[in-house]
Amino acid sequence: MLSYFLPPRIEFGDGTIQNLGEHVKAFDGKKPLLVSDAGVINAGLLAKAIDALEAVGLAHATYSDIEPNPTDISITHGVEAYKAEVCDVVIAVGGGSVMDAAKALRLLTTHEPPLEPYYADVGGIERIQDDMPPLICVPTTAGTGSEVSQGAIITDTSLQTTDRWRKRAIVTPFNMADVALLDPGITLGMPPALTAATGMDAITHGIEAYVATKYHPIAEGVALQALKMLSTNIRQVYHHGVDVVARGEMLLGSCMAAFSFQKGLGAVHSLAHQLSTDAPIPHGVANAILLPPVMEFNFSHASEKYAEVARALGINTTGMDSDEAGHAAIDKIREFNVELNMPAGLGAAGLDRKKIPKLAADAMLDHCHKFNPRECTEADMNALFEASF
């Protein structure tokens, strides 16, 4: 028997952030905690959320001490802020780090701290109850789709499982936002490099989900449509960021790709999760670099599916057999990486090669590769880091 979870509510359109206060009231909320970060505040985006709350006379508190790759420490401080301010709703305004932090701190408002027993790798899903306050997500980037994903990626500083800080996941269907407000207008100011990195993260979600091993035909269909929308628009938003229609397609496409990865992700994410804590490589950049070598590695186990991916990426595969079409998909990802000015490899992106063996060992502890179409060993992980270097 299988259980599929669909996102509760997605509101899409330019200006939807203005409805934020009404959504809080619909949950009978009196004082939401706004979770955000310095970048979002400096871009003037948190102010839009605050305006929307004040327009309907709602009190609010803000916790904005979220760093990129949020740690369990900042989650603990966020929970303290929620309790001290006597809040009753959590609103995340930001990218993946902010939304993941909001999910984790919301968990600890009703579950006994620390986070340790709730991580996916120690069976945390069994310990998480559906008794948390409402969560409203307003993504300010088009990439992680964290608003509808079941995971929250947290940097664990406790050193309980490894001798370095490590990214770990908290996974539960209750992590999906009760309301996701997708407002392309607030993504217009995203700089090109961030647009490219987050967009390639979304494309990686679609591809890894589509070939992941879980049986989930709903997610497969959504992944292909997401890839169509993302591949059609990623160049446009990189070169012409003010195109609100293309921004909207990217925002909805990234949301759909994230929904689809409840089917599973793959080796790219297990490898990439090791890089943001030990190398200065943003998640989306790491994915973009790792994706072609991982697709080559998987090819013997996924060529038919990569041929479908090629068609979703807009390639005319008439006259190609499935091997040729599958390889055309990999070539297309390499073309995107060149056009979007991604670094040529992990070395160029800033990885110290000496760290690879340890990172490969830790990648094996990450849950994502369990759904990779080809089984991965530690030696494979090492070889994939080397091939991407």
Decide if residue 100 touches Fe ion (CB under 5 A). no
- What distances in angstroms separate CA 27 from CA 90, 135, 178, 300, one per listed residue? 11, 10, 10, 49
Structural contact between residues 280 and 197, judged by C-beta atoms closer than 8 angstroms: no
- Smallest distance from Fe ion to CB 255, Å: 13
Structural contact between residues 172 and 117, judged by C-beta atoms closer than 8 angstroms: no
- Smallest distance from Fe ion to CB 383, Å: 22
Q: Which is nearer to Fe ion, 100 or 249 (CB)?
A: 100
Structural contact between residues 220 and 257, judged by C-beta atoms closer than 8 angstroms: no
Q: How many CA atoms lie within 13 A of 5 on its CB side?
A: 19
- Smallest distance from Fe ion to CB 202, Å: 8
Decide if residue 366 touches Fe ion (CB under 5 A). no
- Smallest distance from Fe ion to CB 270, Å: 11
| Spatial separation of the C-alpha atoms in residues 129 and 119, rounded to whole Å | 14
Q: Which is nearer to Fe ion, 37 or 201 (CB)?
A: 201
Other Cβ atoms less than 10 A from the Cβ of 279: the count is 16
Decide if residue 72 touches Fe ion (CB under 5 A). no
Q: Which is nearer to Fe ion, 21 or 151 (CB)?
A: 151
Residues in binding contact with Fe ion, number by CB under 5 A: 1
Q: Which is nearer to Fe ion, 201 or 249 (CB)?
A: 201
User: Exposure string (b/e) for 83-103, b if CB count within 10 Å is 16 or more?
Assistant: eebebbbbbbbbbbbbbbbbb
- Smallest distance from Fe ion to CB 369, Å: 13
Residues 187-206 that bind Fe ion (CB under 5 A): 201
Structural contact between residues 70 and 120, judged by C-beta atoms closer than 8 angstroms: no
- Smallest distance from Fe ion to CB 51, Å: 31
Q: Which is nearer to Fe ion, 100 or 201 (CB)?
A: 201
Site residues (CB under 5 A) for Fe ion?
Answer: 201
